[in-house]
Structure 1
């Protein structure tokens, strides 16, 4: 990747801070049949297409884009991992930075999304992609570069070959550190977490500190209706507040970026250089944050008993257009 492209990769207002903030997890499987997967598929714009014709409109590929994939891993950070023991990329979010229009867009990716995922052998040899949950590819790798690269490829496959430039992953043990860097996040509990923490009863308003943040964003099966969608909604509520507080810190103190990065570094693996990141976060602190894109789709239980999510083809097509293209007048 050239230097100009690397610098653009960190050019969002929250860049790594929000990237790390988004590393909230969605582990486990929801074993309840919801609906059948669609039988028809809509053609996605391919990465090499500079223009796309759709419904009588012409769209062209936008310039000045950089994409960063954020991964939250359901495993504590380690120096090394045995084969298939690196965990799963249970939280996935694509950040698209537009240096021309000064915007940040985010694509929320369900961990159970079925898409072609490259399989790695025990010696690292590569096999043809297999249709499976997008989260599982991370475990084939080393918990670092190869795990991230396999997951990046799976996201690119999902999006019709659109390029993901850079990536950042974080182990689950970084959640409480990130939360406390922001001074704690105040929430009103719509579910009862008291079986895990007696202070976290339904209806209580409290500021989450330490392990309470992980409890709030990760717990699923024993909480409320127990669905991944309910947890993702809870995560989105948390993310919005966390991002606001981190954003305020960034705007007040340029050095906060490096302070936060250094505190989070033990839990992170990324190909975004530290110095470039800090400079560009500060330079682009006023980028406009667009609403998070959440593709519609259906869930069903697969033959192996695990939940599978099939994005609605038209919804995914629209997401790709919104993230990577602009309509020609």
Structure 2
């Protein structure tokens, strides 16, 4: 079993495609307006807070070049959740915050044996929790539990997991993605300067969103900066042509089925997408959880700043008014 995990760690493949799908499914929460007779309150740090009316969706990018199911059905063969982002929609304010979570974030991971028996809970990289599932659904459910623990018990309402096999289809469907660089970036064969506007297509787009220099420590954070620029470019492109984007997404939904698993009912998807397209771009924000990137025994670890994490939870899920 140890060899399986070592092989998985040595063959890291990184993925941001989940954020593309996050944009496509922004409206998941736009129509989920919950009606409360009275607003629920909680006491936090001696202060009375009201719970915000929010909906959460966890997006996972799985490092599997083919379809999302391994068909083997045992832990260790399902890939890792190499990209994670929590979509938080404030239903009252009609705002969206996408919180990205580094794959190396150290959390409580439930470890399972080859036969699916629970063995122990250990401090490990978050990306590994998905791998302990027997299929995509169980991998997602295990990852949700770990992320809920990271977010101080805040429940996650829905999930979407996408394998890497879908990247090329999505970029091609949109005819490439025009990206404005917020800082200098580098990938093999290409250099970008802050302020450059570039249309990314084909292999260049693929490398831009997943490449990480494995010869250096902490380069996943560099990759996440490129991913943020890519996501902003895609959002702007969709907002500029909402009708055209809806048509593109209608075709993509069927094409992506072999590469995707989700808790979202098919009957709900199109109404959600249509409403989500019209969310004001100024109400969509991106941030990364705060922490420190360190290197231990040849592997990167991301240690979350618990004080800043507590602030993030308060700001996104509670209000004093």
TM-score band, normalised by shorter chain:
0.7 to 0.9
Give 2:289's match in structure 1, choosing from 290, 295, 319. 295
Report if the CA contact (8 A) 1:257-1:278 is conserved.
Answer: no
Select the residue among 307, 310, 321 that pairs with 2:303: 310
Q: Tell me how far 1:149 sits from its aligned partner.
A: 0.8
User: Structure 2: which 5+ runs fail to align?
Assistant: 1-18, 27-39
Structure 2 counterpart of 1:18, from 14, 18, 23: 23
- Residue 291 of structure 1: SS of its match in structure 2? strand
Tell me the equivalent position of 1:325.
318
The question of whether the paired residues in 1 share the 8 Å contact of 2:178 and 2:200 is answered with yes
1:250-297 Cα offsets, whole Å, 9 max, x none, are 445644432221232222111112220111221343334332232221
CA distance in 1, matches of 2:139, 2:272: 26
Q: Of the two structures, which has the highest relative contact order with CA contacts closer than 8 Å and spacing of 6 or more? A: 1
**Paired residue for 1:243?**
235
1:76 aligns with 2:70: no
CA distance in 1, matches of 2:290, 2:57: 22
CA-atom RMSD, angstroms?
2.8
Please identify, of 149-158 and 101-110, the stretch whose mean Cα deviation from structure 2 is larger.
101-110
Cα distance, 1:224 vs. partner?
9.3
TM-score, structure 2 normalization = 0.78
Q: How many residues align?
A: 281
Structure-2 residue corresponding to 1:35: none
Deviates more, 1:236-245 or 1:252-261: 252-261
- Contact (CA 8 Å) 2:133, 2:139: kept in 1 or not? yes
**Relative to structure 1, is the Cα distance of residues 221 and 282 closer, same or farther in structure 2, using a 3 angstrom cutoff?**
same
TM-score normalised by structure 1 residue count: 0.76
Distance 1:248 1:261, change over 3 A: farther
More helix by share: 2
Matches within 5 A, 1:142-291: 142-187=134-179, 190-195=184-189, 200-202=190-192, 206-221=198-213, 227-252=219-244, 254-288=246-280, 289-291=283-285
1:102 aligns with 2:107: no
Mark the runs of 5 or more structure 1 residues left unpaired by the alignment: 1-13, 22-48
